[in-house]
């Protein structure tokens, strides 16, 4: 749409925003800041206390019987999150489970899906990669007696201070496909905010008989995902960024249905065992049919309750409407920054809506020694990455157009 650079116009956008009421469903820090850090930790839904208190009450009133009795028996509590999560990532319920934490899940999944052979043994990742992802794939290579220095291929997606194009990324992956057993990419790059062409990359992996896995930490709840249709082999994501599930919130896992009948090596635990005999198990592991087979232990109910409070908000509003507003917020942010015509600010995130989510990464040149402290002095919470990048993520749930306008005013002053 046609934007204008004025606080009056920002207020008009807020007045006409049908989702503005959602802000009242979240708790803000005591200083009531402009909170633009949902890509790191989302705000707390006000309903989280109620959801957690329900399970605290069940524990108090029922003790061990809470596993099988009460309003939400813990035996199957994780399934209360499954449908909500499936809607967010475009999967079937049988392909989705909530368990553990993100890097733990990536390791568990790679035990099954990274099966190097004499001819196919390398791993491709994107760069800059979140350090935990790189550590994980390096250690998986070492577990198989491979050399991370030689057998890990990093596709540099940020060259000459800008993101490479989608076509260039596909070319880079294709030209490095010799001897590759697995591609593991982030859906949205944590540093630049670039949304990759996941569908095309998946097709490329399929053509080369290569497993494709995704770390969707910065994509789940942020951009449209169709994991089943894109035939992604496996994926995982955290629950505490755009999903607002609280610090260390449980992670989501996806395993495509085409793998459910395959005999795969996996780490095994009793929570992935046939539910009918879980408490009277035979000596041999009988996996549940579907993604639940990758579970190991009984889930953290109190943490899942907090995440459930947010996921129900996603279903109440619909991921499509939330994405539509986040695109508009991010577009307004981009317009305002460009209208400054400030040579000390440049946007490194791609300009096209289909190549980014609700994040702009800004390269800045400032004489401020502590950029984070400067924004804090303006009562703004955002994220600074060395040496000179500010990551800004307007959230459709709780950010307004006026928030964006005030941030850009502070940015210009910086």
pLDDT in tens, 169-212: 999 999 999 999 999 999 999 999 999 999 999 999 999 999 99
pLDDT in tens, 244-303: 999 999 999 999 999 999 989 999 999 999 999 988 878 899 999 999 999 999 999 999
Residues of the chain with pLDDT under 50: none
Residues 6+ apart with CB under 8 A from 313: 22, 25, 45, 47, 244, 397
Phi first, then psi: what are they for 92, rounded to 5°? Answer: -90, 155
Q: Where in the chain is the domain with CATH 3.40.640.10?
A: 53-316
Closest listed residue to residue 194, CA positions, set 322, 335, 351, 88: 351
DSSP state for residue 216 in the 8-state scheme: -
The CATH number of 7-32+318-413 is which of 1.20.1530.20, 3.30.429.10, 3.40.1080.10, 3.90.1150.10? 3.90.1150.10
**Does this model's pTM top 0.75?**
yes
Contact call for residues 407 and 380 (beta carbons, < 8 A): yes
Distance CA 273, CA 277 (A): 8
C-alpha pair distances (Å), 229 with each of 189, 202, 352: 22, 10, 23
Token pair 């030689």 is found at 150
Phi first, then psi: what are they for 166, rounded to 5°? Answer: -65, -40
The pLDDT of residue 1 is: 76
The pLDDT of residue 268 is: 95
H-assigned helices in 144-189: 148-151, 166-175
Distance CA 265, CA 240 (A): 29
The pLDDT of residue 65 is: 97
Q: Where in the chain is the domain with CATH 3.90.1150.10?
A: 7-32+318-413
341 burial type by CB count under 10 A (0-12 exposed, 13-18 middle, 19+ buried): exposed
The pLDDT of residue 281 is: 76
The pLDDT of residue 283 is: 87
The CATH number of 53-316 is which of 1.10.3720.10, 3.40.1210.10, 3.40.640.10, 3.30.420.40? 3.40.640.10
The pLDDT of residue 135 is: 97
């Amino acid at each position: 749409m046609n934007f204008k650079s004025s606080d009056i116009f920002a207020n008009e956008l807020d007045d006409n925003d049908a989702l503005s009421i959602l802000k009242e469903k979240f708790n803000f820090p005591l200083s009531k800041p402009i909170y633009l850090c949902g890509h790191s930790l989302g705000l707390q839904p006000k309903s989280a206390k109620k959801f957690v208190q329900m399970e605290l009450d069940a524990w108090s009133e029922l003790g061990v019987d809470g596993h099988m009795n009460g309003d939400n028996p813990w035996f199957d509590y994780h399934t209360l999150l499954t449908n909500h999560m499936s809607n967010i990532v475009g999967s079937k319920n049988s392909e989705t489970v909530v368990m553990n934490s993100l890097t733990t899940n990536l390791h568990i999944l790679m035990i099954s899906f990274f099966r190097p052979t004499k001819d196919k043994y390398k791993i491709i990742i994107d760069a800059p990669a979140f350090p935990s992802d790189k550590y994980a794939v390096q250690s998986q290579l070492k577990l198989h007696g491979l050399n991370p220095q030689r057998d890990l291929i990093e596709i540099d997606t940020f060259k000459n201070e800008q993101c490479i194009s989608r076509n260039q990324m596909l070319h880079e992956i294709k030209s490095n496909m010799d001897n590759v057993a697995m591609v593991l990419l982030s859906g949205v790059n944590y540093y630049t905010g670039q949304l990759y062409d996941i569908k095309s990359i998946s097709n490329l992996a399929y053509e080369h008989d290569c497993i494709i896995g995704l770390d969707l930490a910065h994509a789940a709840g942020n951009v449209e995902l169709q994991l089943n249709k894109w035939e992604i082999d496996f994926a995982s994501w955290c629950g505490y960024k755009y999903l607002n599930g609280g610090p260390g919130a449980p992670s989501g896992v996806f395993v495509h249905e085409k793998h459910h009948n395959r005999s795969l090596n996996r780490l095994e635990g009793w929570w992935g065992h046939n539910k009918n005999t879980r408490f009277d198990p035979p000596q041999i592991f009988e996996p549940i049919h579907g993604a639940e087979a990758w579970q190991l232990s009984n889930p953290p109910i109190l943490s899942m309750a907090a995440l459930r409070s947010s996921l129900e908000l996603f279903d109440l509003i619909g991921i499509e409407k939330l994405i539509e507003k986040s695109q508009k917020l991010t577009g307004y942010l981009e317009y305002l920054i460009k209208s400054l015509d400030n040579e000390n600010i440049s946007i490194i995130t791609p300009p096209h809506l289909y190549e980014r989510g609700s994040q702009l990464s800004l390269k800045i040149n400032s004489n401020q020694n502590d950029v984070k402290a400067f924004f804090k002095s303006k009562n703004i919470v955002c994220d600074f990455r060395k040496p000179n990048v500010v990551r800004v993520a307007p959230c459709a749930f709780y950010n307004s157009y006026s928030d964006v306008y005030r941030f850009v005013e502070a940015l210009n002053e910086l």
